Amino acid sequence: MSGDGTTGFGDASGGGPASDAPEPAFGPDRPVRIVLADDQALLRAGLATILGAQPDLEVVGQAGDGAEAVALARSLRPDVVCMDVQMPGVDGLEATRRITADPEITAGVLVLTTFNRDDYLLESLQAGAAGFLLKNSRPEQLADAVRAVAAGDALLSPEVTRAVIARAVVGGGSASGGSAVPAARAAGDPSATGLTERELEVLRLVARGLSNDEIAAELVLGRATVKTHVSNVLTKLGLRDRVQAVVYAFENGLTD
């Protein structure tokens, strides 16, 4: 967990196919549409006030439990659902699973919790959440986290990277669930992995917990180019998401 209480899990697909197509331009004329899901009405009201004060953010719906959150995600088509973990009936983790599994719902899920617990963090990741935020974070951190999830450019922080690796080592497989991470034929050898030198460089930076924007700055590349490299890495190595990429890099000696 990062010191500011924020944690992102990254763009699970690595950003999709190679493309420099413009992404949604959020702003006052096209605010990020948000659904809040929390069983405490007072807390929902506070979050709505914080987010509503931002000219580029708009709260379009509020849910008191996970089932209602899923229904609102389908009917209102928000960009982001801010999801509490502990709610009656359908909890936030199950609601996140339903939202991320539904092809008709495009919203990213930002999980909100009072508890700094690795099990919540990793279960959120397994459920498909795009980010994880402690409720005691500063208002500006909440707004920035919502923007990041809406843009599809969250990250695996170094602290979360360590938690993911630890879980993978103990469990003997991918911390994100599913099949184990494929083994490298010859770690670090581009001809063996099928990766170019640039793609290996990007993989090492992903394993350090850098976001696409940070990788772009580090390598002096465009953000769209970095997303293309990440997507190529996942495809060539048969990995499902950035979490598996982190574990792959760790298991094959590609981390610092």
Q: Per mean pLDDT, which range of 120-129, 147-156, 178-187, 204-213 is the poorest?
A: 178-187
Spatial separation of the C-alpha atoms in residues 130 and 246, rounded to whole Å = 16
Across 35-44, 70-79, 223-232, least confident range:
223-232
- Which of 62-66, 71-75, 183-187, 194-198 is least confident? 183-187
Q: Which residue has the higher pLDDT, 164 or 28?
A: 28
Mean pLDDT of 65-74: 98
Q: Which H/E stretch holds residue 205?
A: helix 197-207
Say what percent of the chain tops pLDDT 90: 43
Residue 20 has pLDDT above 50, yes or no: no
Q: Evaluate whether 142 touches 133 at the Cβ level (below 8 Å).
A: yes
pTM above 0.75, yes or no: no
Give the domains, in start order, of the chain with CATH numbers: 6-20+27-151 (3.40.50.2300), 175-251 (1.10.10.10)
Please provide the average confidence, as pLDDT, over all residues in the chain.
80
pLDDT digits (tens, 9 = 90+) for 84-107: 999 999 999 999 999 999 999 999
What pLDDT score was predicted for residue 33? 97
**Average of per-residue pLDDT across 166-182:** 53
